[in-house]
């Protein structure tokens, strides 16, 4: 674009704009790939074991509940649905590894910053 033409040999505005455009294009491609990974998951039937596509409610010792969605991608994303924060985890994450194939009333232990946290699976959707 004409606004990004260098005014002198030290002007890097055009180069910066190109890097930004490349990064945005890569992000769009990643989003499309994630959509392709999620589409087959929505057609899976719910089971009594946690699998990719399961929405899981965990409860800690203080009866505080946390919701997780075990997805094929987009780990770390958090969405709010009906006043519940739902975190997306993938099977490659420590939490995702712990969740796979668990059932209601199974326990999960995660060590975070050297401290063990215990959770019980209370609901699988």
In this model, does residue 1 exceed pLDDT 70?
Answer: no
* Burial profile 112-121: b = 16 or more Cβ within 10 angstroms, e = fewer: eeeeeeebbb
More confident residue, 51 or 45: 51
Name all domains of the chain by residue range, CATH numbers in brackets. Answer: 2-39 (no CATH), 46-124 (3.10.50.30)
Do 108 and 58 contact (CB within 8 A), yes or no? yes
In this model, does residue 69 exceed pLDDT 90?
Answer: yes
Sequence-distant (≥ 6) Cβ neighbours of residue 56 within 8 angstroms: 50, 67, 68, 69, 70, 99, 121, 123, 124, 125
In this model, does residue 46 exceed pLDDT 80?
Answer: no
In this model, does residue 111 exceed pLDDT 80?
Answer: yes
In this model, does residue 10 exceed pLDDT 80?
Answer: no
Q: Is this prediction's pTM over 0.95?
A: no
């Amino acid at each position: 674009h004409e606004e990004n033409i260098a005014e002198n040999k030290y002007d890097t505005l055009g180069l910066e704009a190109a890097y930004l455009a490349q990064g945005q294009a890569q992000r769009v491609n990643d989003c499309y790939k994630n959509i392709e990974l999620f589409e087959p998951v929505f057609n899976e039937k719910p089971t009594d074991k946690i699998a990719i596509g399961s929405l899981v409610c965990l409860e800690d010792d203080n009866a505080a509940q946390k919701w997780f969605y075990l997805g094929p991608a987009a780990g770390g994303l958090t969405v709010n649905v009906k006043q519940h924060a739902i975190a997306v985890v993938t099977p490659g994450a420590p939490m995702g590894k712990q969740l796979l194939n668990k059932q209601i009333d199974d326990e999960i232990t995660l060590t975070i910053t050297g401290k063990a946290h215990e959770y019980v699976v209370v609901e699988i959707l």
